[in-house]
Structure 1
Amino acid sequence: MGVRRLLLGLFHASEAWTIPDEEVERLRLDFPDLEITRARSKENLEAAIPEAEILFSWAPGEANVARARNLRWLHAPAAGIGAYLTPSVTKRKILLTNSRGVHAVPIAEHTLGVLVALARQLRTAIADQIQDGMDRERWFEGPGRPRELYGRTLGLFGYGAIGREVARRALAFGMRVIAVRRHPERPSAWEPDLLRALGLPEEEPRIDAVMGPGDLDRMLEASDAVVVAAALTPETQGVFDAAAFGRMKRGAWFVNVARGKIVRERDLVAALRMGSIGAAALDVFETEPLPRESELYTLDNVILTPHISGNSIGFWPRAMALFRANLRRDAAGLPLLNQVDIERGY
């Protein structure tokens, strides 16, 4: 294989989502066969894209992909690829890979963090601290008494890289873990090279049960806390509605770190107001950013974060380790890691 032309479209208004200079220099050192162009603006991207053979970029848009006459491989720095499935990508069958698994560690840590916060009622403690008036007695009576994660059942809706790492941490807290996934009959098969690139353990967490979508009700009825960690697909959109919340244990907790449109927000608010759902921690919403008029802001049994569960200083090292692994595979003519099934959408 001769010179490979790589275009980096990893610019952003936020520092967190802009590729660091040192990562670009490492690519130049590790892959002398790469001719690297770094776009720092939309204009740079538009000018360079016709010659690009490999594009590692935030969603470039249909107009750019249509002009990328030499493009054979498009790599996304995140797991979600809905914005990448443009007509040109699907029609030309451009190889699309994503960064599935890159966010598994921070999202898993975030998930256990909010579960601990719900159990220990840290929202109440922080509110007291802000008001400069801690009321110790409330912690010893009725609903004010803290709970434990130990011995409780955690139900996972989605058991991919994120669900796997949530389960691993929940088990360390002494929780019982069950999961629903699309194909429970298929054993978990993770490419060792992918796990090594991401720094994830090869050993599978020992969870109690993996069920199929048809067993969702059974999972909901058995769980003290439900965590949504699935991809947004036509099958999962709106799955968590009034009927689903009605199947959950009264007082159970609900956590969404996946996609907002998997949940019917109006139904969740109603369940929280009625107390059928004890509390919720939400990092994603049907409309983002969450509108200021949302009723979720008015509920004292909810923890809200602005879609930041996957954000951490570990993002770029993991994302680039995965991309470098794929660049080596590309040079060797091997199948790339995290290839997206364009028809299924993930």
Structure 2
Amino acid sequence: MTDKGLAFTVVLNHPAAETYARLIGERFPQVRAISAPDPERLERYIGEADALLASRFPVELFDRAKKLRWFQCTNAGVDSMLPIRDRASHIAVTNARGIHGDIITDFVMAGVTMLHWDFRRFLQEQAERKWKPRYVAPLAEKTLGVIGLGSIGATIARRAKSAGMTVVGSKRDISAPVEGVDHLFSSDALADLLPLCDFVVLAVPATADTVGLIGVAELALMRRDAFLINIARGNVVAEAELIKALQTRAIAGAMLDVFEQEPLPQDSPLWDMPNVIATPHVAGSPTNYTERVFSIFGDNIGHFLKNEPMRNAVDLGRGY
């Protein structure tokens, strides 16, 4: 992809740009690393980039990125590239798939427990000094459904199964079994999967096929005592319809880490709902995130310089 004798420039558009630059310098002193954490520096240097590291692709600068041949996304999702994917076939795309599974699964299982026991109510009663015992069934008697069994979804399924839960899940290719999944459904069979679930976890990538995946019809298929957990993307759910379902108790509650608009607007009803746990898109953010990403990015710099296949290559046609 590039001649060894020519300068190879990586532009780093990320809050941790200086750390990435240091790590690159230690491992690849021949590589020119440009820190561009803000829009002004990114606009200034994008034209010099052979490679770009960022959490989202700056589609507004695509026409200025004349030299760009590789985009390393610091997230698992590369939906930011979808608007220009038909013009970006010459750009290799890699992501951070594989570094989020354990921490997101920790988050999901914490949410399952909090929703199941209605911990929000316990905390409110504690604040009011009220003693109101109540009891629930063991999680091992419950069914968890995972919509999207990629790296993250499969990790969630294994953890839920290890907790004794019945696990069902859906994915595009069901030709092979998935560890920890008791019943596997194709991605177009949500009508069969949703009524089975006490908890529905959304773990699909953001693609043209998954926008609005959960809408009026799907919410109506969920049981009234079921909970929705979204750690995918906000646009996977029709948020206005979800709010109605939560307000009318058509479903029992939700834990939401992603939203159609982020930060969540101050006037959103989701802030005040007693049956909602809302978090600021943190599920996939371990404390050593930069080092985890660089374990992939650093390897890929080496592969790129040697014209070798890179880790975590993304098929833009499929969106993941």
- What is the TM-score normalised by the length of structure 1? 0.83
Matched, 1:139 2:142: no
Q: Runs of 5+ in structure 2 lacking a partner?
A: none
Render the CA deviation track for 1:117-143: whole Å, top value 9, x for unaligned: 1122211122233x241x22x223xxx
Q: What is the aligned counterpart of 1:316 among 271, 283, 290?
A: 290
Matched, 1:228 2:231: no
Contact 2:11 2:46 in 1 (8 A): no
Residue of structure 1 equivalent to 2:8: 5
Contact 2:50 2:69 in 1 (8 A): yes
Matched, 1:253 2:253: no
Q: CA RMSD in A?
A: 2.3
| 3-state SS, counterpart of residue 252 of structure 2 | strand
In the superposition, relative to structure 1, how do residues 40 and 303 fare at CA in structure 2: closer, same or farther (>3 Å)?
Answer: closer
Contact 1:5 1:51 in 2 (8 A): no
What is the rounded CA distance, in whole Å, between the counterparts of 2:43 and 2:261 in structure 1?
Answer: 29
| 3-state SS, counterpart of residue 201 of structure 2 | strand
Structure 1 stretch displaced more, 152-161 or 321-330: 321-330
Q: How does 1:323-334 map to 2 (within 5 A)?
A: 323-334=297-308
Contact 2:101 2:152 in 1 (8 A): yes
1:4 CA displacement: 4.8
1:89 CA displacement: 7.6
Render the CA deviation track for 1:125-163: whole Å, top value 9, x for unaligned: 22233x241x22x223xxxx3343223111011111110
1:88 CA displacement: 8.4
Residue of structure 1 equivalent to 2:54: 57
What is the rounded CA distance, in whole Å, between the counterparts of 1:39 and 1:287 in structure 2?
Answer: 25
Matched, 1:82 2:79: yes
Q: What letter corresponds to residue 8 of structure 2 in structure 1?
A: R
Q: What is the aligned counterpart of 1:285 among 259, 263, 267?
A: 259
What is the rounded CA distance, in whole Å, between the counterparts of 1:33 and 1:8 in structure 2?
Answer: 14
Residue of structure 1 equivalent to 2:275: 301
| 3-state SS, counterpart of residue 207 of structure 1 | coil
In the superposition, relative to structure 1, how do residues 254 and 59 fare at CA in structure 2: closer, same or farther (>3 Å)?
Answer: closer
Residue of structure 2 equivalent to 1:118: 115
Q: What is the aligned counterpart of 1:263 among 227, 237, 256?
A: 237
Q: What letter corresponds to residue 159 of structure 1 in structure 2?
A: L
1:67 CA displacement: 2.4
Number of equivalent positions: 317
1:301 CA displacement: 1.3
What is the rounded CA distance, in whole Å, between the counterparts of 1:39 and 1:52 in structure 2?
Answer: 11
Matched, 1:175 2:173: no
What is the rounded CA distance, in whole Å, between the counterparts of 2:258 and 2:65 in structure 1?
Answer: 33
Q: Runs of 5+ in structure 1 lacking a partner?
A: 13-17, 189-203
Contact 2:85 2:316 in 1 (8 A): no
What is the rounded CA distance, in whole Å, between the counterparts of 2:14 and 2:77 in structure 1?
Answer: 18
Q: How does 1:7-22 map to 2 (within 5 A)?
A: 7-12=10-15, 18-19=16-17, 21=19
Structure 1 stretch displaced more, 319-328 or 89-98: 89-98
Q: How does 1:131-210 map to 2 (within 5 A)?
A: 131-133=127-129, 135-136=130-131, 138-140=132-134, 145-185=135-175, 187=176, 205-210=179-184
Q: What is the aligned counterpart of 1:29 among 2, 26, 30?
A: 26
What is the rounded CA distance, in whole Å, between the counterparts of 2:152 and 2:85 in structure 1?
Answer: 30
In the superposition, relative to structure 1, how do residues 39 and 20 fare at CA in structure 2: closer, same or farther (>3 Å)?
Answer: closer
1:3 CA displacement: 4.5
1:43 CA displacement: 3.2
Matched, 1:345 2:296: no
What is the rounded CA distance, in whole Å, between the counterparts of 2:260 and 2:293 in structure 1?
Answer: 27
Residue of structure 2 equivalent to 1:15: none
In the superposition, relative to structure 1, how do residues 84 and 239 fare at CA in structure 2: closer, same or farther (>3 Å)?
Answer: closer
Structure 1 stretch displaced more, 30-39 or 104-113: 30-39
Residue of structure 2 equivalent to 1:273: 247
Matched, 1:48 2:48: no
